Amino acid sequence: MPQKSQHATAYKPKKGEPYMSPAQLDHFRQILNGLKAELSEDIDRTVHAMQDEATLFADPNDRATQESDISLELRNRDRERKLIKNIDKMLARIDSGDYGYCDNCGIEIGLNRLEARPTATLCIDCKTLDEIRERQVAK
C-alpha cells in the first residue's frame, strides 16, 4: 500500500474527545481521499506513459523486455485499482458510522493503527490471530 500523504499529520485527540468523533472521521476521510487521488494520478500517468512509449521493437529480446515491463506495470495498476475500491469501502464506512471498529470483535481499531493503515478493518489482536492462522495453514 502506498504511504499516506506526506502532508497529513497524525491526529491528536483533545482530552475527553470520544473515539471516532466528527473531527477524527473528517481527518481519516481526508487521508483516504488523498490516497485515492494519489493512486488515481499514478494510474493516469502510467496509462499515458504506456501510450507514449508503445514501440514495436524489431529485436525479440527488446520486445520481450518491453512486454515484461508492461505486464509488471499492469499488475501494479490492478493492485492500485483494488486499493481504490477498498478506500471507497472505507469512505462508505465513515459515512455509515462503522469506520474504526473491528470487523471481528467490534472493538476500536485505534487511532495509531488507522494512521498507519487507514484501510484496516481488524484491531491489532484480531489481525495478529488472523496472521497466526494463515501461517499455520501455509505449513
Average pLDDT, the chain: 88
The domains of the chain, with CATH numbers, are 19-99 (1.20.120.910), 100-139 (no CATH)
Residues 3-18 pLDDT 10s: 444 446 889 989 999 9
137/35 Cα distance (integer angstroms): 33
Amino acid at 138: A
Q: How far apart are the first and last CA of the chain?
A: 26
pTM of the complete model beyond 0.85: no
Tell me the percentage of the chain whose pLDDT exceeds 90.
60
| 89 vs 120: CA distance, rounded Å | 11
Q: Helix, strand or coil for residue 108?
A: strand
The whole-angstrom separation of Cα 83 and Cα 39 is 8
| Pairwise pLDDT comparison (37 vs 48), residue with the higher score | 37
pLDDT recorded at residue 109 = 98
